[in-house]
Amino acid sequence: MVTAALLGVSALAAALIGDRVLDVLIARDRLTARTLLRVWAALTAGVFVAAASSVAIVAIPGHASVVGGVLQTCLNGLDSAVSRTLELVAGPGVFALVLAVSGWRAAAFWRTARRRDLEIGAHHALLARLLNPTGARSPLWLPTSTPMAYSTPGRTEGLIVASEGLRQRLDPAALSAVMAHEQAHVHGHHHLFVRVADCLSHAVPWLPLTRQASPIVRALVEFDADAHAAHEHGDAAVVRAITHVHPTAPAGALGIARDCVDLRLHRLGRSAAPGTRPSRSSSYAAPTAAAMFPILLFLAGLATVFLAACPA
């Protein structure tokens, strides 16, 4: 029971402080946005795996043997003070209830979002057939004077939508930056990241890591798309694009000028300090460390219990 409780508490602790850890990493600006997206995904997955493992240990008593040896003897001494009724009812029972409610909310949100995306896709497919009789699908140029651009999700490939007003308003470099930005959304599967984050924020709003998933991921996908566009066309072109494009975009789409505009302009306006370019190893080490974060908390707690329960 103690082992399971420690693992559950470790998962909870990681979920309570995980959003602050991400905020610090974003503020330090030492990792690329793409790496930070992987860090968020790995940390979230690590929390859910640790929580599920704690229930498995309680539900299947044989799993407790993983501790073994002297430590197991000490922990068994603590376990004897815990009621088996409390173990079976308050442990997996409460978690199962929370899991069921969260799963129901997640499934309902996912169905609604998927239906919305299908409707948006069908609407834009019809527009593409009407406006592009030659068969060219993306980008789809809308005959409106409002300078706007966005990308929509798709089963196989998203669609980039822009307006004729955008071509009239922007210079060639800024226009190319807009296209590169939206292509990064499509090729980086950013719409899927956002949908998963929105789903978690809706389904599990009582944990900071999941409650803040939507704003954090929406910011990170925009940072990643900005970085891609700036790499190809320069920071100045991206800044001009963001400041001259209207934030119009349908629900489920990602528009270049809709989310966290001031923060993105601030990041684009800063020049990277010498020697701060992220290394390739950090793009793998950071997500791995994030996934292991709940386990590291568990091991720290286990060591504390061992020192308290097994005095020399």
Domain ranges of the chain: 1-82+275-312, 113-270
pLDDT at residue 134, rounded to an integer: 67
- Per-residue confidence band for 215, with pLDDT thresholds at 50, 70 and 90: very high
Instruction: At 252, give phi and psi (nearest 5°).
Output: 95, -15
Return d(Cα 298, Cα 59) in angstroms, integer: 19
Are the CB atoms for 13 and 190 separated by under 8 Å? Answer: no
Write the pLDDT tens digit of every residue in 122-131: 888 888 778 8
- Per-residue confidence band for 178, with pLDDT thresholds at 50, 70 and 90: very high
- Per-residue confidence band for 55, with pLDDT thresholds at 50, 70 and 90: confident
Tokens of 17: 């402080």
Return d(Cα 148, Cα 140) in angstroms, integer: 12
In percent, the amount of the chain with pLDDT more than 90 equals 35
pLDDT at 70 over 70: no
First to last CA, the chain: 23
pLDDT at residue 274, rounded to an integer: 47
DSSP letter for 273, please.
P
Return d(Cα 297, Cα 181) in angstroms, integer: 38
pTM for the structure as a whole? 0.84
Question: Which whole-number Å values give the CA distances from 212 to 18, 23, 200, 224, in the listed order?
Answer: 10, 10, 9, 18
Question: Which whole-number Å values give the CA distances from 165 to 144, 160, 175, 225, 254, in the listed order?
Answer: 6, 15, 11, 22, 18
Cis peptide before 61 (omega within 30 of 0): no
Write the pLDDT tens digit of every residue in 15-48: 999 999 999 998 888 888 999 999 999 999 999 8
Mean per-residue pLDDT, 60-79:
55
Q: What is the mean pLDDT of the chain?
A: 82
Return d(Cα 148, Cα 235) in angstroms, integer: 19
Write the pLDDT tens digit of every residue in 137-169: 668 888 888 899 999 887 667 889 999 999 999
Tokens of 143: 């005959």
Write the pLDDT tens digit of every residue in 230-284: 999 999 999 999 998 888 888 888 888 887 888 888 888 775 544 455 666 777 8
pLDDT at residue 301, rounded to an integer: 81
